[in-house]
Amino acid sequence: MTFRWHKLTTNRYFNNGQGIGASNEQNLVEANIIEYIQAVGQDFYYIPRDMFTDDPLFQEVPTETYSKYFCLEMYIMGVNDFGGQGEIFSKFGLEVDDTIDLVFSRKRFNEQVDQDHPLPGDLIYFPLSKHLFEIKFVEDEPGAISGVNQFYSLSKLYTYKIKGTLYRYSYDEFNTSISEIDTQLDPDIFEDRGIDNHHPTIEEEATISLDWSESNPFGETTGN
């Protein structure tokens, strides 16, 4: 039994991005995507995490620093409680689990941001709602924007899609020149609000709760 190879039916002038005029058509698709995002998207501040050194003993990052930002237009994929579960009650109390999905142009990212590609751990600030999100996942091969499929259109990828969660402050250092972030996330202000672990009230309660009068927690021993 013999198999017949059928002629490909895609347009030979495009040929899935590998034919005549492919680069020009790719540039056209990319320009249309950029124009669409700039027309219906929102301005965001991309805040990359600075290079850090792990603690040699515990093999962890003791403190992360953020010292610069870049303005970049992004398209919001969903805004239902920013895509998460919103504010919920758990056994640990009230939790805020807002998430957001964003799409932006690869070309515009390389033009605006001083790094090769988005990374988990970087931050996204939305000035319109004043929310700060941490990137948890970067999708290198996103599918569609507003129902228009651009997955490997003309054999090229044009966008990144990222998933972020609402940022939780953990005494990271901020010096981004964005006053809304640097002021609100200043460790000194957090200490004044009583969030610091060494706040006098916490220290006083700890002193009252700890009883060092008993020398042996397992009971007194008697000699034979």
Amino acid 122 reads: D
- Give pLDDT tens digits for 7-39: 666 666 666 656 655 788 888 888 999 999 999
DSSP line for 24-75: HHHHHHHHHHHHHHHHH-EEEEEEPPPP----TTT-S-S--EE---EEEEEE
pTM given for the model? 0.68
pLDDT at 181: 84
pLDDT confidence tier of residue 120, bands split at 50, 70 and 90: very high
Q: Which element (helix H / strand E) includes 124?
A: strand 123-126
CA distance 167 to 176: 16
C-alpha distances (whole Å) from 13 to each of 16, 18, 100, 201 are 9, 9, 39, 74
- Identify the residue with better confidence: 115 or 216: 115
pLDDT at 56: 65
pLDDT at 83: 47
Domain ranges of the chain: 15-178
pLDDT confidence tier of residue 90, bands split at 50, 70 and 90: very low
- Give pLDDT tens digits for 33-87: 999 999 999 999 999 988 665 666 666 666 778 889 999 999 998 754 554 454 5
Give the mean pLDDT of 120-143.
88
